[in-house]
Structure 1
Amino acid sequence: MSTAPHTFRTYVAENLDALQSDPAREVFVHQERRVTAGEFRDLVYRSARALRAHGIGRGQTVTLLCGNLPETIAVRYAAHLLGCRVNHLYNKLSAESQAAIVRDVETRALIVDPRYLERAVEITEAAPVPDVLVLGPAKIGADLLELAAAQSAEPLVGDARPDDVCTIRHTGGTTGHPKGICTTHEQVQSFRGSIVESEEEAPRLLVCTTLAHAAGMITDSVLRGGGCVVLLEEFDPGAVLDAIERHRISHLFLLPPLLYQLMDHPDSAERDTSSLRSISYGGCQSSPTRIADAIRRFGPVLVQFYGQNEAGGISLLMPEDHDPKRPDRLRSAGKVLPQVEVAIRDESGRDLPTGEHGEICVRSAMLMKEYWKQPELTAEVLRDGWLHTGDIGFLDGEGYLTVVDRIKDMIVVVGGHVYTTELEDLINSHPQVRQSAVYGVRDADRMERVHATVVPVPGSGLDAQQLRDFVREERGAMYVPAEITFVQALPLTDAGKPDKKQLRLQAEREHTTA
């Protein structure tokens, strides 16, 4: 057995070194509270020692039930420094779903934001854990911040190894039971390439979506790149506009439905958003029509990111490719990243030529290690070093990748199949539509019927027959939705994606009771 000294450095160690260079600089703003680099760094080391004193260490799972707080990032860093696996729960999942995840990932310690204490009680009654640690005083568990305050803030050598699982990140559960996606520390290091880090001027990032999703990874890049992170607890378009103006925000990440809400806010055109240098968006399909609106509203600052938790980053559509006169280009996910290989394959695994639709398969150093405790599913998705994304797409002659649909979302109808994203693009192009979600619902004969839930322009008077006529004229009878429901807003997952699972269940219940 080798006795060579352990030299692997995690992303946490490298970020903490970057923070050491200027301990007085402001790195977090939360409400009226401001945290310096030195204070944050000290909190990470103190928290790591407090966790270790509780017997928590390498190879164990720490689960976070936390909102968007500086302490949420600090305790994640502390756990990763010790070599723990970290699982961050989506806060809007049901208590039953959260308890199932806590149990499944073999949680050693549940770390709780004081605002979620009642939910923590529900979870631990259903899935007991050895330790409950709270980010503040509470009637249950120990106060982790009090324990940390008694520890030394001296630098701590980390215990993590390259192939240790760093993060177990669960899917949002929009297509079934969430899967635990395991990513190693080495794979996290491979994901470090970030447009945020490459800029000369220090970024000011606004986080207004959950830190359990992409916002957490972008935060890591900003801290490493010498920037500051302003934290909002959740997305509210008015509050986001206020924060951009007040804090001179330069970088913002939004899922497309939230981007639409931001530009549709009645005050959007009057607010000062001139500080924005980058609005990155992704996580679900976007509408070329609405993205063109966003370009006209915010300027040439949009960057589309296409990736998956399983695959890491796959492609980017840069600002110079965001041309409102090129809906075909806006429909694409941009060019494949230099360190990534993409192949478009048919069901037999054969590579397809340029322009043909097939499954997007990816090979890179960023691929997940496995699905947590699901070896058969892992083997199905990871084959010969290639990850099968479950997305249908194609590459064009210029190397731009277009994602057409999820294989599971594609609706099989009499006469062919309907790509949900193509129909959404068409519906969204109607001048009296703001957003839409298209999904399949099985009828009593187990045949799929096309359903559309639509957010109309307020006061437009748009009705279902007008939309059906529009779709029939533009795309043909096969694409005409059997059912159209109008709503004021689409239900969204914790991450900000349209919750088609909820919409589908609602439609199925309505059919059952009809």
Structure 2
Amino acid sequence: MTDDVRTLRGHVEGILDGMGEEAGREALVHEGRRMTVGEFRGLVHRMARALREEGAGRGDTVTLLSGNLPEIIAARYAAHLLGCRVNHLYDKLSAEVQAAIVEDVETRALVVDPRLAERAAEVTRIVPVKSVLVLGPAGTGTDLLELAAAQSAEPVPNRARPQDIASIRHTGGTTGHPKGICTTFEQLDTHHSVPAEDGYVPRQLVCTTIAHAAGHLADSTLRRGGVLVLLEDFDPAAVLAAVERERITDMFVLPPLLYELLDHPDAARTDTSSLRRVLYGGCKASPVRIADAVRRLGPVLSQFYGQSEAGGISRLTAADHDPARPDRLGSAGKVLDDVEVAVRDESGRDLPVGERGEICVRSDQVMQGYWNQPELTARVLRDGWLHTGDIGYLDDEGYLTVVDRIKDMIIVVGGHVYTSELEDVLNAHPAVRQSAVFGVPDADGMERVHAAIVTVPGAEVSEDGLRALVRERCGAMYEPHRVDVVPAMPLTDVGKPDKKALRRRAEEAERAGSAA
């Protein structure tokens, strides 16, 4: 049979089957609510029928706007059973950006967290959506839970086919055409973010958005018969309390969030002995702070390096986390078994061990391409290899180290900030002649967004006013930590803004401020 007619029993069925036969067993915990395997499995099938009655079907896009609710995970699975594409919006982006993405992916149905009903109304005023379905009573749209309650909980046959697009995940997109990363159902079915281990049933604490990496890890946990404990956002005190109260075994955090946990006054008196795996990634980690984490938490840390476009690339295992080896802690670990990595120069020539170049990746998890952007896809995917835009090198033991990025994106808690997009917003201000945006690491190594501007002669503009403009246009994630007015923009020899010079000045100013 060809993929055109072959259906797929995999992703969702594998998860629901993996949850086990014990219908009364706890599966998801959220703000005191405890949902059983039977309740969750039934909800998925009821929602699938309700979505189908609302007209959603194979090849349609269902967009999610929600916090970390059990019901939004069920809605994603329900949409996938019908063969729908799913796009999960980051909730910290502005309404304008969210609306641009909703329109770009050709949204058929928008599924909304009732706490975000007002935002959904803003988005749909900008871009009308045929079906707005709310996870509870709200004035914005139809109550999806009420519709689902009237449906049968009997299993719904999977309508997806292996090569259908299952998910479209966006990076950037505050101006111009958003970049949507396309993944197929077959790729979801074969995706394993964390290798399974025998001997324990995972209890995963979800404390970052399930719209990103935590969502993949949640799928893995449920598929292994584990339990998800869902927090709405990262708060170190709440995370520590949940680890102790719920006997958490697994957790994913960005490095700066891990540092917040270590530095919190509750850390010393919290029982973290249940932890088996603390996975971290998403941005460069400080070897000193990671060594401190190993000493505090034990041999439970594991680093995962990947990209939305590439899937997983490499892993630094718990065994590699030796506090006496800061060089090893500074690496991204060894390349995964089912992944090929080549380090190449600008001409595409493979570089020898130890030489720095662009990290290029080939694997079954590499994206199918960018949604409706064939030219951009062709630039990034060449001869079967994904060009990541990251600069790094392989050592003689096979460990991969990421040292820089070709792209100008700044990685912050909650997502990515693209400097050119923020510059466009700043340059649109009538008092701004030119701007340059760049990241400056703070004391913990987490990048903060900095901007340097040249103003129109005689014009006045306040830093608070520019921050407010950015919040309005792009959302809080893009808000600059600092905006400096410079008399002239320093330029490189070829006439580009010299961001290295600007970054050095900003770092010196940060150090001077800390010393004071």
| TM-score normalised according to structure 2 size | 0.82
Q: Percent identity?
A: 64
Which residue of structure 2 lines up, in the alignment, with residue 155 of structure 1?
155
Give the SS at the match of 1:58.
coil
Q: Shift of residue 437 of structure 1? A: 2.8
Amino acid across the alignment from 1:38: G
Q: 1:35 to 1:439 in 2, by over 3 A?
A: closer
Q: Does 1:437 align with 2:475?
A: no
Q: For 1:451 and 1:361, how far apart are their aligned partners in 2?
A: 29
Q: Shift of residue 191 of structure 1? A: 1.4
Q: Shift of residue 189 of structure 1? A: 1.9
Amino acid across the alignment from 1:338: D
Q: 1:436 to 1:157 in 2, by over 3 A?
A: closer
CA contact (8 A) 1:313 1:366 kept: yes
Which residue of structure 2 lines up, in the alignment, with residue 26 of structure 1?
26
Q: Which whole-Å deviations, capped at 9, do the CAs of 1:354-386 have from their partners, x for residues lacking one?
A: 000000000000010110111111000001110
Q: Which whole-Å deviations, capped at 9, do the CAs of 1:193-245 have from their partners, x for residues lacking one?
A: 632x3332100000010010111100000001111000000000000000000
Which residue of structure 2 lines up, in the alignment, with residue 405 of structure 1?
404
Deviates more, 1:185-194 or 1:2-11: 2-11
Q: For 1:20 and 1:186, how far apart are their aligned partners in 2?
A: 23
CA contact (8 A) 1:441 1:450 kept: no
CA contact (8 A) 1:204 1:249 kept: yes
Q: Does 1:241 align with 2:240?
A: yes
Q: For 1:178 and 1:263, how far apart are their aligned partners in 2?
A: 36
Q: Shift of residue 485 of structure 1? A: 3.3
Deviates more, 1:283-292 or 1:76-85: 283-292
CA contact (8 A) 1:207 1:252 kept: yes
CA contact (8 A) 2:340 2:363 kept: yes
Amino acid across the alignment from 1:444: M
Q: 1:450 to 1:441 in 2, by over 3 A?
A: farther
Q: Which whole-Å deviations, capped at 9, do the CAs of 1:105-134 have from their partners, x for residues lacking one?
A: 100000000000000000000010000000
Which residue of structure 2 lines up, in the alignment, with residue 414 of structure 1?
none
Match of 2:498 among 436, 440, 448: 448
CA contact (8 A) 2:7 2:162 kept: no
Which residue of structure 1 lines up, in the alignment, with residue 510 of structure 2?
485
CA contact (8 A) 2:256 2:446 kept: no
Which residue of structure 1 lines up, in the alignment, with residue 194 of structure 2?
194
Q: For 1:228 and 1:168, how far apart are their aligned partners in 2?
A: 26
CA contact (8 A) 1:256 1:286 kept: yes
CA contact (8 A) 1:450 1:483 kept: no
Amino acid across the alignment from 1:180: G
Which residue of structure 2 lines up, in the alignment, with residue 214 of structure 1?
213
Give the SS at the match of 1:273.
coil
- The number of equivalent residue pairs is 447
Q: Shift of residue 449 of structure 1? A: 4.0
Q: Which whole-Å deviations, capped at 9, do the CAs of 1:389-436 have from their partners, x for residues lacking one?
A: 00000000000000011112499xxxxxxxx99x95xxx7xxxx4445
CA contact (8 A) 1:355 1:396 kept: yes
Please list every run of 5 or more consecutive structure 2 residues that lacks an aligned counterpart in the other structure. 411-437, 453-487, 492-496
Give the SS at the match of 2:303.
strand
Map 1:283-362; keep pairs closer than 5 Å: 283-362=282-361
Q: For 2:111 and 2:366, how far apart are their aligned partners in 1?
A: 28
Q: For 1:57 and 1:451, how far apart are their aligned partners in 2?
A: 53
Which residue of structure 2 lines up, in the alignment, with residue 113 of structure 1?
113
Which residue of structure 2 lines up, in the alignment, with residue 103 of structure 1?
103
Q: 1:10 to 1:289 in 2, by over 3 A?
A: same
Map 1:35-434; keep pairs closer than 5 Å: 35-171=35-171, 178-192=178-192, 194-195=194-195, 197-409=196-408, 433-434=443-444
Give the SS at the match of 2:152.
coil
Q: Shift of residue 21 of structure 1? A: 2.0
CA contact (8 A) 1:450 1:482 kept: no
Q: Shift of residue 483 of structure 1? A: 4.8
| TM-score normalised according to structure 1 size | 0.82
Q: Shift of residue 176 of structure 1? A: 8.9
Q: Which whole-Å deviations, capped at 9, do the CAs of 1:411-468 have from their partners, x for residues lacking one?
A: 9xxxxxxxx99x95xxx7xxxx444537786652443244799xxxxxxxxxxxxxxx
Give the SS at the match of 1:485.
helix
Amino acid across the alignment from 1:212: A
Q: 1:291 to 1:482 in 2, by over 3 A?
A: closer
Q: For 2:142 and 2:70, how far apart are their aligned partners in 1?
A: 19
Q: Which whole-Å deviations, capped at 9, do the CAs of 1:30-53 have from their partners, x for residues lacking one?
A: 111100111100000000000001
Q: For 2:355 and 2:141, how far apart are their aligned partners in 1?
A: 56
